[in-house]
Structure 1
Amino acid sequence: MRDTVNWEHALVTGNGRQGALCWGTPAELRLTVSHERLFLPLRAPLAAPDTAAVLPRLRRLLDEGRYAAAAQAVCDRAVAGEPAYAETLWIDPLVGAATLTVRPHRAGVDFRRDVDLASGVVTLGWRDERGEARAEVFASRPADAIVLRLSAAGGFAGTLALGLIDGIPPVPVEARTRALAGGLTLSATFEAAWPGALTGYRVRCQLLTGDAAVPRGPGLEVRSDATLVIRTLLPGDPEPEVTGDYETLLAEHRTIHSGLMGRVHLDLAAGPAQRSAPTAALLAEPVGPALVERLFDAGRYAVISSTGDLPPTLQGVWSGTWTPPWSSGYTLDGNLPAAVAALLPTATPELLLPVFDLIEAHRDDLRHNARRLYGARGLLAPAHLSTHGRQNHFGPVWCLTFWTAGAAWLGRLYVDYWRYTGDREFLRDRALPFLREAADFYLDFVEVRDGAARFSPSYSPENAPASTGSQACVDATMDVAVVRDLLTNLLRGTAELGLDDPAAPRWRALLGALPRYRVAGGLLAEWCHPGLDDQPAHRHASHLWPLWYEPDPLITDDPRLRAAAVASVRSRLAWWAGAASDEMAYGLAQLGLAAAALGLAEEAYATVEAMAGRYWRDNLVPTHNRDALFNVDIAGGLPAVVAAMLVRSAHGRLDLLPALPRAWPRGRVTGLAARDAVRVLELRWEPGRADAVLRARHATTVEVGAPALGAPYRTVTLPAGRPVPVRFSP
């Protein structure tokens, strides 16, 4: 197996809170363990830059077309108040806790490895002079620990050592290890001195079963088959004793893990030979149904396994480095939304709740950002966060202080949780309070000149208009779209609960003043401002945001705007087809969701094909760039696009097979979820026919159609909790 001595090619298991990277060779097996809250404390959070006082000047510069000067002015103001802002400041990174190294006494050959997605068990196997040997690993949800079983013909024999992960940490980390007959411990401390900073952690490797274990220096010699439990503990974490044997612990874990994985099953009619082929062999061939099926499951597995009290970071819950790319935190302007994009459609809504918990834990920081940067009420979300939510990361090129879309985008996740679950208590107690406070920011921040709203400053993530070369801008289409969505859903949500909100007239007024979407050169413009020219050769597709969730009728119902959106999808895809575009895989997920919303079956499939063929390794974990940078963004993005191609739900309508490509002429999917709290218990299709069984949580009526078959829509009444079959044919 290629590169098994590199942690980025490891097989993974996780329970959301604890994770393990399983890698190495028969001579040296390695388990690198991690914890969802183990963010290395680099520096104390700073006050966000105090730029509210210079906002009028920033707007004058932008009005004059001096976009780069406006971005530089923010940095100059920030450095004048805080010298640390002279350099780009990163968030605290997610790092690995420790590596358990297992060195068998007997030489091994024929190394094999496998992960069972249904149970979460990773198996590393080999042969030694006595026969078969193996290490089996899973991350128990009930026990909140990594469980390792070592076994071999004639009994396992080897040494265990526990140490820090490889590399040199960017700040001092002091560690000590201790070996006892009952196991190994590692204690690490940090020099962080600010309030709330993590001061250290402990890793305990407990010998649960095994007859003979003898301390040898800092390590442990094991002389029989053994089961160990490994737990990373932060200060204040409880440490309940783990009891039971390997099989008992696995049975308890499997019930929960397989229950999550089993909510949805995808069958694209792949042949049995392809389904049983090794992943490496499937990746070496043109993308086919068997690979899509496998990666659909693998993506869901990675996200489920890295969602605990917190959502997945850029690297899920895993890390084998002190310096992960982009600090492996939560990147809100694309990465985190991509990672969680499939949770609702694949019927695991409870796994989206950690996103809300994370954001609400940093709500005071989001208020702080709004006040400091723009003198506004409400919430301003930064692009990057981990241990705090202060806007500390920006620069004159990557002018992230100008990105104001974050809270409204997060608001759509709150709305969709309600729409998919029908949970009115969540709408009342969590969604509407967040949406109201997010709207407060835009009521204060957005200028209205002669009845027309203006977003100044503005930012379309990481792209720069061709006419300016600066990422600083005004009236980015993303900003307009997310605020339109936010205000529309506020009005709808309050109406749903019969509430008369005193801010509603202001919401309606701002909604009516928002800029119209613009067409430029036949494309849906990325900036509504007419002086900013499009730059379609870019990895992001932020101007297509109004098509990623519930498509905006202003686009889909307007022939001219719809045609422009179609042209934009195709233009971006043409760029992705080039050899220079093998970076940032989740941009393909953005395109795929937009294509599916527009009914562009072959274009949506092209994004799945590119994600599957370029960005996955045979360890079943995707990468950020082609074969580079362990990353879980499209672990959520690929299943989300596949689900959107098979079931689309929006505005009281349910589309079955809205973007069915020629590559999938027949198939079956079970368990997909839809808005209006509808489950598609089963959807089968073959040429000329589709059969579905629908069930609603609450009694409802929906318009149901199957666009791929050209069949007319029909009104279907769904009683609460009762399956209703439907059939479509031309």
Structure 2
Amino acid sequence: MIDGVNDGWEDALVTGNGRQGALCRGGPAALRLTFSHERLFLPLHPPRDPPDTASRLPELRDMLRAGRYAQAATAVWREAAAADPRYAETLWIDPLVGAATLTVRPRSPSAAGPVRRDVDPETGLVTLRRQDAAGTVCLSAFASRPLDAIVVRLSATGGFAGSLRLTPIDGAPPRRYVSDVAVTPEAIMLSARFPEATWPGALSGYRVHCRVRGGATAPAGVLESDAVLVIRTLLPGDPDPEPPADDFDALLAEHAAVHGELFGRVHLDLGAAPAERTAATADLLAHAGEGRAAADPALVERLFDAGRYVIISSCGALPPTLQGVWSGTWTPPWSSGYTLDGNLAAAVAGLLPTGTPELLLPVFDLIDRVRGDLRRNARRLYGAGGVLTPVHLSTHGRQNHFGPVWCQTFWTAGAGWLARLYVDYWRYTGDQRFLHERALPFLRECAQFLRDFVQIRDGRATFAPSYSPENAPAGTGSQACVDATMDVAIARDVLTNLLALTGPEEPDREGWRTLRDALPGYRVADGRLAEWLHPDLDDQPAHRHASHLWPLWYEPDPLITEDPATRAAARAAVRDRLAWWDTAEADEMAYGLTQLGLAAAALGMAEEAYRCVAGMATRYWRPTLVPTHNRGAIFNVDIAGGLPAVVAAMLVRCAHGRLDLLPALPAAWPRGRVTGLRTRDAITLRELRWAPGMVIAELVARRDTPLVVTAGPGRWSGVLPAHQPLTLSWISRRARGDAVGMTVTP
């Protein structure tokens, strides 16, 4: 339960079915729902050609190798602006915007009290209740997956009486916008056009169709009885909806069966007290207070569920934007598209381990739709084959957003990062068709770009230009650089995976192997894993990103984990970044704690990983169960995916033929139970239970899988048979009085 009267869209409760969303809020005078659609990107300007800098690449590389980093970044910007004056200012992607707001004004004989607000993550049902002298007015809403619509029930003691008004969202659109509203006894329709968006592929407009069932509306939108509303945002080409049923409970049950099955695949129990589990989220957050290093188990459980709810609700035909599937503004921060240097990866990080792999497919569908643009980026910027992603993406994939400071044309690792998601989808699901038809073709294009772009000088691969999002080496004054650790780590991952997944008949194997073998190892500087491999580039640990830790976020790179010195340096890098996060200025970009938490879990740094979870939980979540980008500001879904991902990584790790149970279990979680987690090698952890001195796990694999399983000092090695559950139990000598070991139950 959430009490309050804050009527801003960023303080709303959310419901969504992936394609359509609703922000639900209100105060004593009115209740409001703002509708959104996953494809409603405001058409700001047509896509432009990426800068044609391939011919200047030798010159740019000479500048970078001479240490003239800012000059190189400025040269790209000036070249682009000379060819197209519109590049003189930073060009943003088309932003995700809200479609319309429905305002419900109950007719009240007296002043109403505060609005009580509730959201049920298991069903997606949002409820707003307003109390006055005449009784209770209730608005219930959910975003139906089967119906692809927002369904609303208006009811009141003695029957609802009041008015409905459908309007564009608040504020002034940055592009010419024309709308009109028509009201009939059975529906309210808002039609909107963007008359200046005349280029091919531009969104010309949309409609919001609100059908009223059970209570006729007069021309002024007046209701005189309880009613069910069915609202759809329709884009050009969408068919007119069939008249829906008006049985709210039946429609909710139909939706809850689909949504609830997704949500219910994983359950987390960290041993929270029953009274804490029923406490209001606001009370749990208030109890956490200023705690940057601790969070009650009940709060972590609550936000683990809340995060999964938000991400499930914003995965449709497209993946979640920075704001999921919701928007209440014409000018969202960073245009609320897909930011590929960290945000999107954080938002979807929990989908595979929490058992919802099908919700990751929209990422690959998005990339498929813009593949031609990614190839054009590679050709025009670097004269290379293969694919090159922009940092920001929404309605197209061309590299249009950059400048002399944010020199994002120099970031070449985005496609390789996405390639790891392709590989992991196969590793978690075992889907061979996906591997051969989607993953391997994309990896081959990533490798083609690397072979054309990366230079081998004196037997060593070099990356110039390079970029470590969004940091600058100390003392250089520029984000432009050479040999960023992230670039090298991602290249190694792409090439290693290709060599492992293809056979000797593959014609490009020798080229891949030659390039992989030329990649430099990791650099240690001042006892830390360095963010740049070039010896003249010094680290800047006081930063929100931790991109040099990328090789620990997925399958940890053995070059780090199996070398004691490099492993120790990586641990030092985690601690240095965490020290910065403990400072007052580190209250922006919450998903930086996701990056650190995944790295800490991979290194077995239980307390550091827990500090990351606690930091996300206590500093970046609203009582509405929606997270923020900065502390207390900016509606944002990144850590809705990131927090569950870090918790899952602390409880189970599967990489390189080994599955570790509780690899980073903190002291704050001495006992618990989780069901439904998934791991690489297509293994499902049906149940994992632990208590002091005891671990019990039930595993089932999709195929026969040779595996080493560890739990504390316990170890089991064998073949996990396909589709046959296997229970492993470890009880310590102290708990049982006998030898330490694993007990296996077929």
**Does the alignment reach a TM-score above 0.5?**
yes
2: CA distance, partners of 1:434 / 1:3: 49
Q: Residue 35 of structure 2 corresponds to which residue in structure 1?
A: 33
Q: How does 1:302-313 map to 2 (within 5 A)?
A: 302-313=310-321
2: CA distance, partners of 1:109 / 1:558: 63
Q: 1:523-553 CA distances to partner (integer Å, 9 max, x unpaired)?
A: 0000011110000000000000000000000
1: CA distance, partners of 2:631 / 2:132: 36
SS in 1 for 2:502: helix
Q: Residue 538 of structure 2 corresponds to which residue in structure 1?
A: 533
2:481 to 473, 487, 491: 473
Q: Residue 507 of structure 1 corresponds to which residue in structure 2?
A: 512
Q: How does 1:485-564 map to 2 (within 5 A)?
A: 485-495=493-503, 500-564=505-569
1:594 to 592, 599, 604: 599
Q: Residue 333 of structure 2 corresponds to which residue in structure 1?
A: 325
1:72 to 60, 71, 74: 74
SS in 2 for 1:126: strand
Q: Residue 466 of structure 2 corresponds to which residue in structure 1?
A: 458
1:695 lines up with 2:700 in the alignment: yes
What is the CA-CA distance between 1:244 and the residue it aligns to?
4.3
2: CA distance, partners of 1:239 / 1:248: 22
1: CA distance, partners of 2:428 / 2:173: 43
Q: How does 1:102-501 map to 2 (within 5 A)?
A: 102-106=104-108, 107-190=111-194, 191-210=196-215, 212-216=216-220, 220-241=221-242, 242-286=244-288, 287-495=295-503, 500-501=505-506
What is the percentage of aligned positions where both structures have the same residue? 68
CA contact (8 A) 2:5 2:115 kept: no
SS in 2 for 1:254: helix
Q: Residue 621 of structure 1 corresponds to which residue in structure 2?
A: 626
Q: Residue 726 of structure 2 corresponds to which residue in structure 1?
A: 724
2: CA distance, partners of 1:290 / 1:478: 36
What is the CA-CA distance between 1:214 and the residue it aligns to?
1.4
2:19 to 13, 17, 22: 17
1: CA distance, partners of 2:70 / 2:715: 51
1: CA distance, partners of 2:30 / 2:264: 34
CA contact (8 A) 1:89 1:392 kept: yes
CA contact (8 A) 1:208 1:245 kept: no
Higher mean Cα deviation, 465-474 or 329-338? 465-474
Q: 1:580-635 CA distances to partner (integer Å, 9 max, x unpaired)?
A: 10000000000000000000000000000000000000000000000000000000
Greater than 3 Å deviation, 4+ residue runs: none
Q: 1:300-326 CA distances to partner (integer Å, 9 max, x unpaired)?
A: 000000000000000000000000000
2: CA distance, partners of 1:535 / 1:400: 19
Q: Give the TM-score, by structure 2 length.
A: 0.96
1: CA distance, partners of 2:704 / 2:541: 44
Q: 1:396-426 CA distances to partner (integer Å, 9 max, x unpaired)?
A: 1110000000000000000000000001111
2: CA distance, partners of 1:392 / 1:723: 51
Alpha-carbon RMSD: 0.9
1: CA distance, partners of 2:285 / 2:10: 17
Task: Give unpaired runs (5+ residues) of structure 2.
Answer: 289-294, 733-746
2:8 to 6, 21, 28: 6
1: CA distance, partners of 2:214 / 2:431: 45
2: CA distance, partners of 1:111 / 1:85: 48
SS in 2 for 1:227: strand
Q: 1:339-359 CA distances to partner (integer Å, 9 max, x unpaired)?
A: 000000000000000000001
What is the CA-CA distance between 1:238 and the residue it aligns to?
1.9
Q: How does 1:90-101 map to 2 (within 5 A)?
A: 90-101=92-103
SS in 2 for 1:27: coil
What is the CA-CA distance between 1:3 and the residue it aligns to?
5.5
Q: 1:428-474 CA distances to partner (integer Å, 9 max, x unpaired)?
A: 00000000011100000001111110000000001000031210000
CA contact (8 A) 1:209 1:245 kept: no
SS in 1 for 2:252: helix
Q: Residue 61 of structure 2 corresponds to which residue in structure 1?
A: 59
Q: Residue 647 of structure 2 corresponds to which residue in structure 1?
A: 642
1: CA distance, partners of 2:114 / 2:631: 28
SS in 1 for 2:451: helix
What is the CA-CA distance between 1:111 and the residue it aligns to?
1.7
Task: Give unpaired runs (5+ residues) of structure 1.
Answer: none
2: CA distance, partners of 1:468 / 1:699: 53
2: CA distance, partners of 1:729 / 1:555: 31
1: CA distance, partners of 2:708 / 2:241: 51
1: CA distance, partners of 2:115 / 2:458: 71
Q: Residue 292 of structure 2 corresponds to which residue in structure 1?
A: none
SS in 2 for 1:371: helix
**AA partner of residue 188 (structure 1):** A
SS in 2 for 1:619: coil
Q: Residue 742 of structure 2 corresponds to which residue in structure 1?
A: none
1:566 lines up with 2:571 in the alignment: yes
What is the CA-CA distance between 1:208 and the residue it aligns to?
2.3
What is the CA-CA distance between 1:26 and the residue it aligns to?
2.9
2: CA distance, partners of 1:114 / 1:30: 14
What is the CA-CA distance between 1:2 and the residue it aligns to?
4.4
1: CA distance, partners of 2:348 / 2:505: 33
**AA partner of residue 506 (structure 2):** D
Q: Residue 604 of structure 1 corresponds to which residue in structure 2?
A: 609
2: CA distance, partners of 1:448 / 1:723: 49
Q: Residue 42 of structure 1 corresponds to which residue in structure 2?
A: 44
**AA partner of residue 565 (structure 2):** R
SS in 1 for 2:127: strand
What is the CA-CA distance between 1:721 and the residue it aligns to?
1.2
What is the CA-CA distance between 1:108 and the residue it aligns to?
2.5
2: CA distance, partners of 1:244 / 1:148: 10
CA contact (8 A) 1:299 1:638 kept: yes
1: CA distance, partners of 2:94 / 2:330: 10
**AA partner of residue 334 (structure 1):** G
2: CA distance, partners of 1:3 / 1:627: 17
SS in 2 for 1:596: helix
SS in 2 for 1:410: helix
Aligned residue pairs: how many? 720
1: CA distance, partners of 2:223 / 2:723: 54
2: CA distance, partners of 1:508 / 1:717: 30
CA contact (8 A) 2:27 2:114 kept: no
SS in 2 for 1:574: helix
2: CA distance, partners of 1:95 / 1:2: 25
CA contact (8 A) 2:621 2:627 kept: yes
1: CA distance, partners of 2:730 / 2:567: 26
2: CA distance, partners of 1:63 / 1:660: 44
CA contact (8 A) 1:3 1:9 kept: no
